[in-house]
Amino acid sequence: MSGDRRERGLLEALAANRGAAAVGAVVLVLAAVLVVGSLRRPELPTYPPSAPGTRPAAGRLVGPTTYTVDARQSDRWQLFSFAEGGVVDEEDGSDWDLGFRRFQVIANGGDGFAGDGGALRLGAVSLDSITELPLRGYEGTRVERGDSIVAPLEDWYTYSFLTHLLRPTGEAYAVRTADGRFAALRFLGYYCPGAQPGCVTFEYVYQGAGGPALRPGADGSDHDG
């Protein structure tokens, strides 16, 4: 009988070892899958910087239209004007609305800024569905921990620590421009051709006539894309 017990004990020990080995193998396989998955970088859309120059709105409703800011320089803000339809050189005053530097975005509004700009999160809606923007609730730029931020625009993207890629959330934002006009925008991408970071791409609608309405004809003119 004692021999039978020893034999059963040996068989049970062998079975337990095999079970532990099987669990360990599964863990190793899962770890390998995670590592391989992290090495496979997903394909993200890329956009070349928009051509230099501006397309003035001339007091009209503009968009939806797409623009790509070349924000690859980490030591210089690229300043975008909705009224001019492009990047401008003006650093002081109220001739620009949003500033871009890599993934950072600021508005020409808040303490220390000449403009009255700000931003407001609208959520996961398409620009085509937005007919009128809020008049209040916009937040300007503030300095926090040494960085200039606009709270609603601070999280316009998500970042993966596995792939080290930045991806827009797809949410829409309302923007009050430096001179108190209104625009809606949605970020589309962050990468230049060749997967180089810093080409901030967004689509927008801008009401150059003033007022929060983004409907065609609300300014007394035709819609201009």
* pLDDT tens readout for residues 60-104: 999 899 999 999 998 899 999 999 999 998 766 678 999 999 999
Query: Do residues 219 and 207 lie in contact, with contact meaning Cβ atoms separated by under 8 Å?
Result: yes
Query: Between residues 192 and 32, which one has the greater pLDDT?
Result: 192
DSSP state at residue 100: E
The amino acid sitting at 219 is: D
| Type and span of the H or E element at 3 | helix 2-39
Q: Which residue has the tokens 């396989």?
A: 29
Sheet-wide strand order for 98-101:
86-88, 78-81, 98-101, 104-107
What tens digit of pLDDT does each residue of 108-157 get?
999 889 899 999 999 999 999 999 999 999 999 998 776 788 889 989 99
Q: How many Å apart are CA 143 and CA 2, to the nearest integer?
A: 79
Residues in Cβ contact with 147 at an 8 Å cutoff, skipping those fewer than 6 apart: 104
pLDDT of residue 42: 61
How are beta strands 172-176 and 182-192 bridged, if at all?
A: antiparallel
Place of tokens 């925008």: 185
**Count of CB atoms situated within 10 Å of the CB of 45:** 11
Is the Cα torsion angle 130, 178, 85, 68 positive or negative in sign? negative
Q: What is the reported pTM?
A: 0.76
* Per-residue confidence band for 58, with pLDDT thresholds at 50, 70 and 90: confident
Given a contact cutoff of 8 angstroms between Cβ atoms, the answer to whether 122 and 173 are in contact is: yes
